[in-house]
Amino acid sequence: MTISPQNLTIDKKNETNNAVGAGLKIGVLALQGAFLEHANMLRKLGAEPVEVRLPQDLADLDGLIIPGGESTTIGKLANQFGLIEPLQAFISAGHALWGTCAGLIFLAKNIGATGSGGHVVPPRLAVMDVTVDRNAFGRQVDSFEADLRLNFAPDEAPFRAVFIRAPKIESVGPQVEVLAQLADGALVAARQENLLVTAFHPELTNDLRFHRYFLEMVRQYQEA
Ligand code: GLN
């Protein structure tokens, strides 16, 4: 390949993107749902994605993503595959974990009573001090997009978030930091120490900021 200023620019950009994930092995729970999309985003940032289906797949991972999908199905399969306790142990060992959409429901301590399907309480990890409303935006608005101001990057352009039959965070405990809200004040992204949750799907966009934020969290907990 001839070296031209154009090539150099491309290389430089890849180098910057890759630095954050270099050397990190990140699991993506691959029981059901949007796991391939997360794996692609991780690869773009230089991390190595690993599909997780069984407890032994958690060995050597630096962090883990629970994708969106159907929280009842994900919860039931995780239970059947004996993953609930190993996942709880993975979190108490101090590894970073991120739940998107159904993954948020899977991490939540409490499931609220409102919203369609709100009465169904799937098996879950119940580790994050949030109360979540399933399908909180109702049947008429199954899917929508919204611009979010990111509390961890307040001066940057808004994040175009994709919501699909999304849950809403109804309330948060004192250790939980809110990272993004809709214009009406609804809480849609939050963090509690090594746990990150988003009600929307950053893996269905080209915006790498949430994946980058998560990989930085992973590094922080790896060094702690
Ligand atoms: N509505 C789904 C549930 O309650 C979550 C949707 C999603 O992950 N996109 O499990």
186 in contact with ligand 1, CB cutoff 6 A: no
Report all structural domains of the chain as residue ranges with CATH numbers, in order of start. Answer: 20-223 (3.40.50.880)
Kindly report the pTM of this predicted structure. Answer: 0.90
- Dist CA 108 CA 101 (whole Å): 11
How is residue 180 written in tokens? 């993004």
194 in contact with ligand 1, CB cutoff 6 A: no
- The closest residue, in CA terms, to atom 2 on ligand 1 is 70
CB 100 within 8 A of CB 122: no
Pairing type for strands 96-100 and 63-66 reads: parallel
| Model pLDDT, residue 154 | 95
Q: What is the rounded end-to-end Cα distance, in angstroms, of the chain?
A: 42
| Model pLDDT, residue 186 | 94
- Dist CA 181 CA 195 (whole Å): 18
The Å distance, Cα 203 to ligand 1 centre, comes to: 15
- Dist CA 185 CA 66 (whole Å): 25
| Model pLDDT, residue 38 | 97
| Model pLDDT, residue 120 | 65
Atom index in ligand 1 nearest the CA of residue 122 equals 10
Radius of gyration, CA atoms only, the chain: 17
- Average pLDDT by stretches of 10, the chain with 224 residues: 46 58 97 93 98 97 96 94 97 97 95 62 92 80 91 97 94 98 96 98 97 97 81
| Model pLDDT, residue 139 | 64
CB 215 within 8 A of CB 47: yes
| 203 included as an active-site residue | yes
The Å distance, Cα 130 to ligand 1 centre, comes to: 16
The Å distance, Cα 103 to ligand 1 centre, comes to: 8
Structure-token match 């289906």, residue found: 53
